Structure 1
Amino acid sequence: MKAVVMAGGEGSRLRPLTSRQPKPLVPVVGRPIMEHILLHLRRHQMRDVVATVQYLGSSIRNLTDIDLAAAARFHRERKSLATIVLKPVPNPLEYGVVVVDEGGAVQRFIEKPSWGEVISDLANTGIYILDPAVFDFFRAGEVTAWSGDVFPNLLKEGERVYGWVASGYWEDVGSHAAYMKANFDCMEGRVKVQIPGQRVGEGIWIHEDAEVSPSARVDGPALICAGAKVRAGAWVNGPCVVGPFTTIDRGAKVSNSIAWDHSYIGENSRLRGSVVCRSVTVKNGCTLEEGSVIGSDVVIGAGSTVNANVRIWPNKEVEPGAVVRESIIWAGSWKRGLFSSYGLTGLTNVEFTPEFAARLGAAVGALNPVGAEIAISRDYTRSARMIGRAIISGMISSGANVTDLSVMPAPVARFWAKHNRIAAMHVQTSPVDPRSADIRIFDQAGLDLDKRSERKLEGLFFREDIRRVSHYEMGRIVRREDQSDGYVAEMLSRLDLEVLRAAAFKVVVDYNNGAAGALLPRVLQEMNCDVIPLNASPVEILVEEDQVSFDAHLREIGSIVSAVKAKLGVFIDRPGERCFWIDETGAVLDHTAAFAVLAQLALAGRSGILLGPASASLAFSLIADELGSRFVPTKITPGAVLRAAQHAETVMASDGSGGYCWPDFAVSFDALFSTVRVLEMLAKTRGSLSSLRGRIPVVAHESALVFCPWDVKGRVMRAMMERHLRDRVDLTDGVKVFFDDGWVLVVPDADRPEYHVIASTSDAVRSRALVEEYSGLVRSVVEEMAPQVEAVVET
């Protein structure tokens, strides 16, 4: 017996599940429906199978374990020309209904009856057993339907047409609800299918290649497919299917939901009754409500909510913090831009894939003339190596010549770019999240690209307007390792080594397993420092560390500093850009205190400009004034701070987050040079970090985050300006309003749908009151505009 599987319909009711693939490939419990059907046919010894495409394909959506051998016996016993497999259904209105007599002979067909027409509950399952003679009733060249044309004609001609009533499972997977029901029925044992996993508990299947953390929770019925990962603290609350190579990250809860392959569910996200298709990224803190369906290659921004029964078609991006109330079909394409305030940041192998990196490299190459030299460096990690090599492939494909600097701290890469007048890229695992990577792009001055260049690069990338050169124009790759000698020599030349050697400081340095561990010891040795090194060996795979663990780690360094009576302790982040300071008593300095201490050292005995973001504490203005200098606020982004630091009078600049720039050496945030410069200044002043900390002016610095949709941000700024037309304000970044005792700053976040409200005054009660007052102003504008802002989506 030959089997014909009809596999051609559009599957319009299942969209967006079928927007990218035909219904036969829609997965049910980890296998495509087509595979379940073929396995079922094989169990009944039907090995000669033909599949039709683009013709009556709606039947392929059915999932069944009906006894086909019994149906075939019935067909032969009745000597039937055509036998239709029938199944009783509770609601016949959505099916073709068949009326049969006591012996099974078909009497009548009723297509999708109303309740008044329902005289049978036997639905046509779309499974037919046919004698080859039935094809004599087809007309050549005409489109013919089985239930609408062939079977009614057979009845008119008096041919033998029977219906066999099946007792097995049959489900019409023709809607999203039916699709989820089919998956859950399989796991609950209502249908006989082969589930691809090992049964490890009541209704729980976990594939041998899946990874489930011991601290994760899985409640059945649930299927965890091959390559899937369920991280620590995650909860899979069945019925659920976690598809192949999909990750459920820490603290996420997935309930009554289905996730297809290669998707990512971020930390602390919540899925309730949702279907997530292939290669979807749901970022941290999202909520997907009952009945939501997310198409393939969609990105749901952090903190977003997708309301119940909302459908999002493929290739859309929902911005962070959005509330999606309506289905998104046509609007939206990619993201707001490649660049954030900190360069390019994305999840490794989720957002930053080899394909993405190669395309980015080709766009960077196309931004420059054919034959241009571009350098690239990276950290020790495997993810940075993977992304970096893909970028190199892209750059040479668009005709750029690549200088591969291999492993190098980020500030050394900037230094090299500036001194060689060559644009450069640097790839590193994120210092705040080892699952993510950062890609930095520097111009020939070693600075981040300006906004104009960023927009031009984004245009090349998104339009795919990328130059592809001929084979003889392909770029070359020159590998140049250990290019740090010039950096070390320049650093030593800027230091008073005689004073430092005489001081012979004892210091504790935690290199955080970064590239600084191979460089800074050479300089400290020249300075005659007694160094207690921590975590100096490089590692390729980093372990995740939460804020509580990190704070505990800093306190441990403090214990070591006080125990060995060191002058200070410093923790250098893996890229070598930012540092955390511990004074000689073992006390950990927060970023504001550290900036204030370093400002006092930098301005001691000299006047100049101290630079910091507009959000920096009032204390810095007071310190600069006291020392006869001037504090100049800049825009908040790190790149803006560095560009402002090129001013000739700048003594020191900081981003307020542990990054310090010393323009007399290099215009970059450099934790390595910051370490030796602070030691030099302490040696010259004979001071200590703890004594300087005690001189910081008492200032109450308070802040809050207020949600604000992207489309309302401009209206908030307008409201602020209208309120303070006659007041003293500063518009460096956002709107800063000055009062006799301090100021309040209302500034939009460049990367998220939020406003920062920051107040800095001499009194804590006053600062908190200002934050509450101006947070309320932002919220009132958002509420006023709320009816005009429904679903916020990238366009």
Structure 2
Amino acid sequence: MKAIIMAGGEGSRLRPLTCDLPKPMVPVMNIPIMEHIINLLKKHGITEIGVTLMYLPQKIKDYFGNGSHFGVNIQYFTEDVPLGTAGSVKNAGDFLDETFIVISGDSLTDMDITKAIEFHREKKSKATIVLTRVDVPLEYGVVITDKNGTITGFLEKPSWGEVFSDTVNTGTYILEPEIMDYLEQGKKTDFSQDLFPLLLEKKEPMFGYVMSGYWCDIGDLQAYLQAHYDVLDGKVKINTTLTEVKKGIWVGSGSIIDSHATLNAPCVIGDNCRIGSGAVIDSYSVLGSNNVVEDESTIKRSVLWNGNYIEYGSEIRGAILCNKINLKHYARIFENAVVGDNCVINERAIIKPNIRIWPQKTVDPLAIVDRNIIWGSKHSKTIFGENGLSGIINVDISPEFATRLGAAYGSIFKKGSKVIVSSTTSNSARMFKHAFISGMLSVGVEVFNMSSLLTPISRHAISFLAVEGGIHIKLSDDNPNKLRVDFMDAKGASISRVMERKIENAFFREDFKRCSGEEISRLNNITDFKNYYVRSILNEIDTDAIRNSSPKVCIVSPSDFVISIVVPMLTDIGCKVASFSSSNLNEIDTIVDKIKTNDANFAAFIDSNGETLVLVDKNGKIVKDDLFLSLTSLISFKSNPGSKVVVPITAPSIIETMAEKYNGKVVRTKTSPQAVMEQMLNNNLFKNKENMDQFLLNFDALAGLIKILEFLCVKNTTLSDILKEIPDFYVSKKKIFCPWELKGRVMRTLITEKDSEKVELLDGVKFIMENGWALVLPDADLPLCRIYSEGESPSVADMISEKYLEKIKRIINS
């Protein structure tokens, strides 16, 4: 048996640890991660090892040589250009002439490789993926297997709606050499995204082996610290040459520890260290070789590499120090801070939590460092939620935050790219907008300042001006102290999760493409775009049909700005309009009275951002949510027989019934608005009329209202009459508390314990029965699972949702 260690990783999320060091060379318990992997392979009798290299390859070659010093034989295979995980292994060529194991050189594990190999041979597998179970699988590749271990599906870094299991890919594979014949030499390919799905399609025998030992993907700084804590807790078995001088205290050779120093277990002190009088090396601290800790200094839950000098009275709390760092007297470093090689932290300086300092930097005396000194990665939570970005004004979202976010957003574009930035009339939204624009300009992006607009008008401006993207800042409907920021792509749709992650990476790494003064682009101020928007919408409709019918409409909105746009637009095309301001759609009696008083055909409620349209007919029937979606679908089918409509997976099944009647087609997507938009806008927003109409009906309340009026006038019908054509449907929407760490288990158990129901895994898990369906969807922002159901009657819909509520309760409590 041979092994391939994948050691080409750059480890950008571990910076500054990896500024001058490849990720596999980062030490855990004073030994490079890759050395732990080599020791594990040797323990299981595997000594013929190939190593794939890419980033700083000479550092690995210089340390390991030909492997003889470690009792193994090593051959190196260096990539000139990135080849991906599978492509790099293919690059090993003739070395792969027998069954071999592929293992990551930057994860820590004590898995039983022998048992995994036995499983592989027993199953006569062509490819076996070693799996492990994790509480929160969002950052891993989820692998779905049946009871026999046969792999049935993959999903790379899922959202909560895609979490169908808690078994994830460890990056360790046992492969037969003929599998590599599927790969093209020199072509960039990935195991998870390319090779394994292809093997699944070709029906090659492929199995998942769930390991029982320890595994940690050291992908970020918090995981790096946790790996040390886990070793000290005995959760993982590794080799060490240190001597346990006292239970839980390991000390290397040549180290001198003053009799008045305090060592609290568990802790590690490497070779040739000196610990002064009154110094405290507290629990869960790991010191490398040649460190000096002077009198009265304290180190708690921290990792120090080699050659550091910690002067009198300094404090280190839950931090990481690389090599040859000098902390002067009374310097203090706090939780999750990281200091790179050869830095000097002067007297009484304070490094605040979560700060990253890149190599060879000096911090002045008495300085308080609360920002990264050099741009790079930073371990923190994500800034985007399920529905974009939001936060409390001047708490979560400050001008400083806005400027950094603008620079991060601009950095994903090429210099000279053009974007639009707009906001509502709110002063706080304008404040954020101007700070955001400054960040954009600082990285060389040309900005169109669109002044005060609504979200749909901003979407329209992106297409009209042919820019690369844009943002719109608005107040939250449910909290006047909360801002929401909509990011839009070149089509005017909400950006994808992939794009969100790019922005987050640039934001947290502060990896901004700063430009010189001469490269700063112009700021273009456009103040009257809403007039272009109105003309563009009216040019696409049959205004004569509306003028001839002269419909009467009541407009209700909490926003005077919305009313100031809608009322003149409707009046210009012959509508008779009554309007009043209200933020409470529950005042249905008042709205019906307004309809009757003005002899109106119906009332239209438009939210303050111009995105959500709710209709109320003469009888007080409220048309919103699923009913509104059914109405817009029916309008699409009747206006364009044979057309396609896009709806989320939670939409009622009567939409398919209507599609069949009009020879139409229904395409279902994930539940998020961005997923629906993306599917609708496969073509540019204003190049395909069918797509445009459906988009406007569902995501632009102003244009959607015009399109509905046009339809009613052209067909010479009323809202009440068209609603009668929609079949009755019965849906139920419920939610249940579910801890984050149990969501993966809940989804996996629901799938494996299903009865005769048909299962769909588009978004969450949808169970289809004869009398209805249920969808279980983990919430992306809250510790909840949401249950949607539809039945042939209200009682059946409730019964189905209660069934899955009880199942989830049982799984959580088991």
State the TM bucket, normalised to the shorter chain: 0.5 to 0.7
Q: Deviations over 1:450-481 (max 9, x none)?
A: 22221111001112222333333333212111
Query: Could you tell me how far 1:662 is from its partner in structure 2?
Result: 4.4
Distance in 2, matches of 1:368 and 1:725, equals: 49
Distance in 2, matches of 1:748 and 1:676, equals: 36
Residue 670, structure 1, aligned to residue 700, structure 2: yes
Q: Is the 8 A contact 2:534 2:569 kept in 1?
A: yes
Change (3 A) 1:436 1:467: same
- For 1:435, what is the secondary structure of its paired residue? strand
Query: Could you tell me how far 1:417 is from its partner in structure 2?
Result: 0.6
- For 1:416, what is the secondary structure of its paired residue? helix
Task: Name the structure 1 match of 2:611.
Answer: 577
Task: Name the structure 1 match of 2:676.
Answer: 641
Task: Name the structure 2 match of 1:342.
Answer: 387
Q: 1:533 aligns with which of 559, 572, 579?
A: 579
Task: Name the structure 2 match of 1:557.
Answer: 591
Q: 1:700 aligns with which of 730, 745, 770?
A: 730
Query: Could you tell me how far 1:596 is from its partner in structure 2?
Result: 2.5
- For 1:706, what is the secondary structure of its paired residue? strand
Task: Name the structure 1 match of 2:416.
Answer: 371
Distance in 2, matches of 1:487 and 1:582, equals: 26
Return the letter of the residue paired with 2:780.
A
Change (3 A) 1:762 1:664: closer
Query: Could you tell me how far 1:315 is from its partner in structure 2?
Result: 6.9
Q: 1:485 aligns with which of 504, 515, 531?
A: 531
Query: Could you tell me how far 1:534 is from its partner in structure 2?
Result: 2.2
Distance in 1, matches of 2:398 and 2:579, equals: 35
> Matches of residues 454-465 of structure 1 in structure 2 within 5 Å?
454-465=500-511
**What value does the CA root-mean-square deviation take over the aligned residues?**
3.3
Query: Could you tell me how far 1:408 is from its partner in structure 2?
Result: 1.2
Q: Is the 8 A contact 1:371 1:399 kept in 2?
A: yes
Distance in 2, matches of 1:623 and 1:341, equals: 30
- For 2:623, what is the secondary structure of its paired residue? coil
Task: Name the structure 1 match of 2:273.
Answer: none
Change (3 A) 1:667 1:381: same
Distance in 2, matches of 1:631 and 1:665, equals: 15
Q: Is the 8 A contact 2:491 2:685 kept in 1?
A: no
Residue 384, structure 1, aligned to residue 422, structure 2: no
Query: Could you tell me how far 1:599 is from its partner in structure 2?
Result: 2.8
Q: 1:604 aligns with which of 635, 638, 651?
A: 638
Distance in 2, matches of 1:627 and 1:335, equals: 51
Q: 2:486 aligns with which of 404, 415, 440?
A: 440
Q: Deviations over 1:46-96 (max 9, x none)?
A: xxxxxxxxxxxxxxxxxxxxxxxxxxxxxxxxxxxxxxxxxxxxxxxxxxx
Structure 2: unaligned runs, 5 residues or longer: 1-276, 279-333, 337-351, 356-376
> Matches of residues 58-69 of structure 1 in structure 2 within 5 Å?
none
Distance in 1, matches of 2:730 and 2:417, equals: 51
Task: Name the structure 1 match of 2:653.
Answer: 618
Change (3 A) 1:369 1:667: farther
- For 1:616, what is the secondary structure of its paired residue? coil
Task: Name the structure 1 match of 2:465.
Answer: 420
In percent, how many aligned pairs have the same letter?
A: 28
Structure 1: unaligned runs, 5 residues or longer: 1-142, 145-294, 298-312, 317-331, 536-544, 654-659, 785-795
Distance in 1, matches of 2:668 and 2:695, equals: 21
Distance in 2, matches of 1:624 and 1:614, equals: 15
Query: Could you tell me how far 1:531 is from its partner in structure 2?
Result: 0.9
Return the letter of the residue paired with 2:761.
L
> Matches of residues 121-136 of structure 1 in structure 2 within 5 Å?
none
Task: Name the structure 1 match of 2:372.
Answer: none
Distance in 1, matches of 2:410 and 2:698, equals: 24
> Matches of residues 723-738 of structure 1 in structure 2 within 5 Å?
723-724=753-754, 727-738=757-768
Residue 353, structure 1, aligned to residue 398, structure 2: yes
Q: 1:519 aligns with which of 562, 565, 586?
A: 565
> Matches of residues 258-269 of structure 1 in structure 2 within 5 Å?
none
Task: Name the structure 2 match of 1:261.
Answer: none
Distance in 1, matches of 2:627 and 2:461, equals: 31
Return the letter of the residue paired with 1:567.
N
Q: Deviations over 1:98-124 (max 9, x none)?
A: xxxxxxxxxxxxxxxxxxxxxxxxxxx
- For 2:479, what is the secondary structure of its paired residue? coil
Q: 2:626 aligns with which of 583, 586, 592?
A: 592
Distance in 1, matches of 2:335 and 2:428, equals: 24
Q: 1:679 aligns with which of 691, 709, 712?
A: 709
Query: Could you tell me how far 1:694 is from its partner in structure 2?
Result: 3.4
Q: 2:773 aligns with which of 743, 757, 775?
A: 743
Residue 717, structure 1, aligned to residue 751, structure 2: no
Distance in 2, matches of 1:446 and 1:587, equals: 32
> Matches of residues 2-17 of structure 1 in structure 2 within 5 Å?
none
> Matches of residues 232-251 of structure 1 in structure 2 within 5 Å?
none
Return the letter of the residue paired with 1:615.
T
Q: Is the 8 A contact 1:611 1:650 kept in 2?
A: no
Q: Is the 8 A contact 2:697 2:707 kept in 1?
A: no
Distance in 2, matches of 1:333 and 1:553, equals: 48
The worse-fitting range, judged by mean Cα deviation, of 607-616 and 675-684 is 607-616
How many pairs were matched up? 444
Task: Name the structure 2 match of 1:508.
Answer: 554
Change (3 A) 1:626 1:432: farther
Q: Is the 8 A contact 2:380 2:508 kept in 1?
A: no
- For 1:466, what is the secondary structure of its paired residue? coil
Distance in 2, matches of 1:609 and 1:713, equals: 34
Distance in 1, matches of 2:389 and 2:691, equals: 21
Task: Name the structure 1 match of 2:167.
Answer: none
Query: Could you tell me how far 1:296 is from its partner in structure 2?
Result: 12
Query: Could you tell me how far 1:706 is from its partner in structure 2?
Result: 1.4
Q: Is the 8 A contact 1:617 1:701 kept in 2?
A: yes
Q: Is the 8 A contact 1:414 1:668 kept in 2?
A: no
Query: Could you tell me how far 1:387 is from its partner in structure 2?
Result: 0.8
Query: Could you tell me how far 1:647 is from its partner in structure 2?
Result: 5.2
Task: Name the structure 1 match of 2:517.
Answer: 471
Return the letter of the residue paired with 2:555.
V
- For 1:438, what is the secondary structure of its paired residue? strand
Highest Rg: 1 or 2? Answer: 1
Q: Is the 8 A contact 1:555 1:588 kept in 2?
A: no
Query: Could you tell me how far 1:704 is from its partner in structure 2?
Result: 1.4
Query: Could you tell me how far 1:378 is from its partner in structure 2?
Result: 0.7
Change (3 A) 1:555 1:334: farther
Task: Name the structure 2 match of 1:151.
Answer: none
> Matches of residues 6-405 of structure 1 in structure 2 within 5 Å?
336-405=381-450
Query: Could you tell me how far 1:661 is from its partner in structure 2?
Result: 7.9
- For 1:551, what is the secondary structure of its paired residue? coil
Distance in 2, matches of 1:554 and 1:354, equals: 40
The worse-fitting range, judged by mean Cα deviation, of 549-558 and 756-765 is 549-558
Q: Is the 8 A contact 1:558 1:588 kept in 2?
A: no
Distance in 2, matches of 1:391 and 1:650, equals: 26
Q: 2:451 aligns with which of 406, 412, 434?
A: 406
- For 1:495, what is the secondary structure of its paired residue? coil
Q: Is the 8 A contact 1:380 1:514 kept in 2?
A: no
Q: Is the 8 A contact 1:362 1:395 kept in 2?
A: yes
Q: Deviations over 1:569-628 (max 9, x none)?
A: 111111111111111234433422233333333322523222221112233333333333
Q: Deviations over 1:374-430 (max 9, x none)?
A: 210111111111111110111112222221110111111111112222121111111
Query: Could you tell me how far 1:345 is from its partner in structure 2?
Result: 1.2
Q: Deviations over 1:178-233 (max 9, x none)?
A: xxxxxxxxxxxxxxxxxxxxxxxxxxxxxxxxxxxxxxxxxxxxxxxxxxxxxxxx
Query: Could you tell me how far 1:514 is from its partner in structure 2?
Result: 5.0
Q: 1:449 aligns with which of 495, 498, 501?
A: 495
Q: What TM-score, normalized to structure 1?
A: 0.52
Q: What TM-score, normalized to structure 2?
A: 0.51
Q: Is the 8 A contact 1:395 1:475 kept in 2?
A: no
Residue 631, structure 1, aligned to residue 660, structure 2: no
Return the letter of the residue paired with 2:768.
F
Task: Name the structure 1 match of 2:785.
Answer: 755
Query: Could you tell me how far 1:782 is from its partner in structure 2?
Result: 2.2
